[in-house]
Amino acid sequence: MLYSLYELGHLSVAPLRIAALMQSSMLRSPLNPVADTEIARTAAAASDLFESMTRRYRKPDWNLPTTMVEGAEVAVTPKTVWSSPWCSMVHFERNEEQLEAARGTRADPAVLLVAPMSGHYATLLRSTVEAFLPEHDVYITDWADARMVPVLSGRFDIHDYIDHVMAMLRALGPETHVVAVCQPGPLVLAAVSLMAEENDPCAPATMTFMGSPIDARKSPTAPNKLAENRDIDWFKKNMIHSVPALYPGAFRRVYPGFLQLASFMGMNLSRHVDAHQAYFQNLVKGDGDSTEKHREFYDEYLAVMDLTEEFYIQTLEEVFQKYSLATGTFAHDGKLVNPGAITKTALLTVEGENDDISGIGQTQAAHTICANIPEHMRQDYIQPGVGHYGVFSGRRFRTEIYPRMREFMRAFQSPAARNAKRANLKLVSEA
């Protein structure tokens, strides 16, 4: 019912939103003799603000047409090379001729970025992809919005997520480097553990966990405490709703994106209010650069997706209430997951000093859980002065975190394996 009421509310303000757009255009028109007056600018700014606050934000584009390799511009084309109803693995394919002209025949390490499935689209990692592109062959998991997946496509839970990660690593072949950003950390670690137990040749060369709740008991944050203090029935009653008939996934039970967004914004409400006040003032002043930066950020931040009920509830139970992986009790398809089986995959953990979502120590816990990885194959890094999003985006990520990740991956990369895998990826693409 709540989801239907939300949709009804959105539709009911559509005429007002259209009127606001028309008013803004009229007030800013060069044919309007009072366009440069303060009253007209203020009214136009108010119209723009109303439109932006009532708009439905769609999934953003990647907007990564090129990258710079050794000072030369190289074209980039996102292509889906593996897919299921729930996920597409996107390859940021760099133009081969331009690439070889820029840096010769050197092969770059392949990196699978496992994006969070926690409300935002994979495009939230755009700047992460951008940083890796000049020196890596980059792939990313692009998870589907649950409201767009028909009920006939079946369920999707944390065990399906683990199976998807293993399937994508096998499609990429040996010597891939996997990077889990935030939420997927425990599930990616489970996938690598299972592959290690099977002595799978496609187990990754390295695994990097960034701001991940590997053990959410460490330095609990506000989201951790909420998950601990409420029982599962409370979450089912208050957070789970049915998708309206407007969407392909009609009647699927989901944790709606708009509820997730309300939670995100509620954590830092005053900051968002201040940002929109500044946006309004900059619109009145005609500060195009500042208003464009605001739009770019919120076009991404306000675009959210639904999660399936089973995935959301199982994540709460296993990661934030039972701490199953950290306590050695997590089972996948009836088989106990043993991170101690990992001996050949190197481990890097990255945390932000001011992370208010995954506290200090939650990601570091991977070193304790993966007890049998040799000492020389481990690294831990805490980035001073950054919060959760600064761990994988922004200036500090580009200049301080990414260089460490690059060197770590290269330290465990076999040139012969890189060349062999490039041929394999060509077959995956053609398939």
Q: Are strands 253-255 and 241-242 parallel, antiparallel or unpaired?
A: antiparallel
pLDDT value of residue 6: 65
Residue indicated by tokens 């081969």: 96
Closest to 417 (Cα-Cα) out of 103, 173, 89: 173
pLDDT value of residue 409: 95
pLDDT value of residue 132: 97
Residue 266 identity: G
DSSP for 112-149, please give it: EEE---SSB-GGGGHHHHHHHTTTSEEEEEEEPPGGGS
pLDDT value of residue 354: 92
Domain ranges of the chain: 2-56+257-301, 67-231+307-430
CATH domain 67-231+307-430 topology: Rossmann fold (3.40.50)
pLDDT value of residue 260: 78
Query: In angstroms, rounded to a whole number, what is the distance separating the alpha carbons of residues 60 and 255?
Result: 21
Element (DSSP H or E) covering residue 81: strand 72-84
pLDDT value of residue 120: 85
Sequential pLDDT tens for the chain (431 residues): 678 676 666 667 767 767 777 777 777 777 777 677 777 777 767 766 667 666 776 888 999 999 999 999 999 999 999 999 999 999 999 999 999 888 887 789 999 999 998 888 999 999 999 999 999 999 999 999 999 999 999 999 999 999 999 999 999 999 999 999 999 999 999 999 999 999 999 999 999 999 999 999 998 888 888 888 889 999 999 999 999 988 999 999 999 988 877 666 665 667 666 666 676 666 666 766 677 766 666 667 678 899 999 999 999 999 999 999 999 999 999 999 999 999 999 999 999 999 988 999 999 999 999 999 999 999 999 999 999 889 998 899 999 999 999 999 999 987 655 554 444 454 444 33
Instruction: Point out which residues pair with 350 in neighbouring strands.
Output: 210, 381
Residues 6+ apart with CB under 8 A from 54: 10, 13, 16, 17
